[in-house]
Amino acid sequence: MKMLDRIKNAANSRKDTKFYFFSGKGGVGKTSVASATALWMARKGRKTLIISTDPAHSLSDSFGRKIGGEVQKIAKNLYAVEIDPKKAMEEYKEKFMPEIERMDFLKGLGLDETFDIAGMTPGIDEVASFDKFLGYMNSREYDVIIFDTAPTGHALRFLSLPDVLDSWIGKMIRIRMKFSGIANMFRKFLPFGSEEEQSIGTEHLDEMKRRIEEAKKILTDPEKTSYNIVMVAEAMSIYESERSLETLNEYGIPVKAVIVNQIVPENGKCEFCAARRKQQLSRLEYIRKRFGKYRIIQVPLFKEEVHGIRALEKMGKHIYGSSSS
């Protein structure tokens, strides 16, 4: 093997980024678990980025400091960013302005139905956030990227976006081809019928498509991506997790662990706590049966909310303390 190749390979393997997703109902502890995981990984010496697309800025809450829209270092080996979906959308629109103007123009001509515009637009803010995520994903700068999403089903929607986008971009390319046919016929009447405008290719659409295909491969590769379910030991949360698992299976997305959070600790003096704990333990029995093939991790309900580095460290110890990962 040539020296240069060896160096290249070494660099590649060092930056073979691992991805972590956490899914679950609202308020079960996704952000806390994601942040605790990020801190744990960083302390293990892995350069870690935690990304959130939750407009509620919950990462800032979790780490007890302002984070914001630009990546910033928050501890040794630990970086964080809160993608603001609205801002991402503005940036994205700017990038795709020619396409969006064309679409408005088509609508004006009453041609939008012909081109099925309504059917091809997923939530543009979600697409924009995903585009940003792809940027970080492909940067090869981090050993670990952890993704924290807004409540309920959001992570699943996020993971299904590559498929949605794939067909969206396919349609966009077809529209472009049809449209340039029309534009050639009516060149004189069109506001953007110049030779130069016509020659704008589909490069950035092609590039986006390529990036999405790459993302799909990575997000369904169990060696690279670990998808985890966070739940509490309550009926509604369990049902939701069962549904999530079905969807994940459909997408061929590998699930690593089921984290059962907020288990009331033993306390002989508190009747209320004992009753809650008893019910949770019986739910836990069911969880063990139902999700037996995954790693099941229990996390106690702490006296205090999980805010700040110390609390996150404590949670991390409960989740990963007895394992080598």
Q: Which residues are at the interface with Mg ion (CB under 5 A)?
A: 30-31, 58
Q: Does 313 bind ligand ATP (CB under 6 A)?
A: no
Q: Does 26 bind ligand ATP (CB under 6 A)?
A: yes
**Token pair for 305:** 């909310």
- Tally helices (H) and strands (E) across the chain: 12, 8
Q: Does 232 bind ligand ATP (CB under 6 A)?
A: no
**Token pair for 11:** 């660099």
Q: Does 30 bind ligand ATP (CB under 6 A)?
A: yes
The rounded distance, in Å, linking the Cα atoms of 298 and 232 is 9
Q: Does 32 bind ligand ATP (CB under 6 A)?
A: yes
3-state secondary structure of 75: strand
| Least Cβ distance, residue 141 to ligand ATP (angstroms) | 25
The rounded distance, in Å, linking the Cα atoms of 223 and 114 is 43
Q: From the list 19, 29, 126, 245, which residue makes contact with ligand ATP (rule: CB under 6 A)?
A: 29
Which of 51, 58, 54, 70 is closest to 32 using CA atoms?
58
The rounded distance, in Å, linking the Cα atoms of 51 and 37 is 12
Residue 301 interacts with which of ligand ATP, Mg ion, none, CB < 5 to 8 Å by class: ligand ATP
DSSP annotation string for 12-35 = HHHT--EEEEEE-STTSSHHHHHH
Residue 321 interacts with which of ligand ATP, Mg ion, none, CB < 5 to 8 Å by class: none
Residue 32 interacts with which of ligand ATP, Mg ion, none, CB < 5 to 8 Å by class: ligand ATP
Q: Does 123 bind ligand ATP (CB under 6 A)?
A: no
| Least Cβ distance, residue 266 to ligand ATP (angstroms) | 15
Give the footprint of ligand ATP on residues 141-200 (CB under 6 A): 150-151
**Token pair for 257:** 């662990």
Number of neighbours of residue 60 by Cβ within 10 angstroms: 15
Q: Tell me which residues touch ligand ATP (CB under 6 A).
A: 24, 26-32, 54, 58, 150-151, 261-262, 299, 301-302, 305-307
